[in-house]
Copies of this chain bind each other. A is one copy, B any other.
Amino acid sequence: MLTTPKVAVDVIVFTVREETLQVLLVQLKTPPYAGLWAFPGGSVPHGESTEVAATRYLFETTGVKDVYLEQLYTFSNPRRDPHGHVVSVAYVALVNRARMSLRVPGKCDNIDWFPVTTPPTLAYDHAEMLEYALQRLRWKLEYTNIVYSLLPRDFTLTELQRVYETILDRPLDKRNFRKKMLSLGMLHATPRMVKVGAHRPARLYRFRHRTPMIIEVL
């Protein structure tokens, strides 16, 4: 009998693909949740911080590092895991949609992206985690620059707007959006234009800082 709960982390990895907000899930293969899906994650060994553990699990499944990773909340209900009392520190990561080679963790059967609106049945209390993570993501999108972590280095304002619209799940006014983004001073116009299709080329922009910041008025 343990005298303290076990400690674990779960990483809720979001990306935007094909104008859909998607979340990364692994398929469990051991009872009682065999066949169900869950967030990547696992136990935190003695001596490792939860940040480091979350970064490690993120890397093991996606091969990415240096993306936005934020602690979300700690879930500690003693019955959240039927195996025993596991306190899980949940993290949210935002990764961009570039092709990445997913790796199936040993203890899982599969790994894949799912639209957040239509996820498969989730194990543990992961449905609750997902809901909370979405809420926080939408909330923080409005007053921080964290969207940088979902986009490639260079992007057009229309692409940026699509990402906002996808996550917030509502249309935004083009002129107001551009005015706002540019006036915040967090973007940097490059001299390059992107020419695709039979229409006017779009200017490429970059984030001035690819590191999380609260948006201040200029």
Contact of A78 among B1, B3, B47, B77 (CB under 8 A): B47
Q: Is the CB of B50 within 8 A of A74?
A: yes
Per the bound structure, the CA–CA distance linking A194 and B118 in Å amounts to 56
Interface SS majority for chain A: loop
Q: Is the CB of A3 within 8 A of B46?
A: yes
Query: Which stretch of A4-12, A97-105, A173-181, A184-192 is in the interface?
Result: A4-12
Contact of A47 among B7, B71, B85 (CB under 8 A): B85
1/0 per residue, CB under 8 A from B, across A1-41: the answer is 11111110000000000000000000000000000000000
Q: Is the CB of B76 within 8 A of A45?
A: no
**Quick check: is A44 within 8 A (CB to CB) of the other chain?**
yes
Contact of A5 among B3, B44, B76, B84 (CB under 8 A): B44
Number of copies of this chain that the complex holds: 2
Interface size on A, residues (CB 8 A): 26
Question: Distance in Å from the Cβ of A64 to the closest Cβ of chain B?
Answer: 22
Q: Is the CB of B4 within 8 A of A43?
A: yes
Question: Distance in Å from the Cβ of A91 to the closest Cβ of chain B?
Answer: 10
Residues of chain B within 8 A (CB-CB) of A6 are 4
Contact of A45 among B3, B45, B51, B74 (CB under 8 A): B3
**Quick check: is A48 within 8 A (CB to CB) of the other chain?**
yes
**Quick check: is A89 within 8 A (CB to CB) of the other chain?**
yes
A residues whose Cβ falls under 8 Å from a Cβ of B = 1-7, 43-51, 71, 73-74, 76-78, 84-85, 87, 89
Q: List 11 A-B contacts (CB under 8 A).
A: A2-B46, A3-B46, A4-B7, A5-B7, A5-B44, A5-B46, A5-B47, A50-B74, A51-B76, A71-B74, A87-B89
The 9 A-B pairs with the shortest beta carbon distances in the complex, nearest first, are: A50-B76, A49-B76, A74-B74, A4-B6, A2-B46, A47-B78, A74-B89, A4-B7, A46-B85
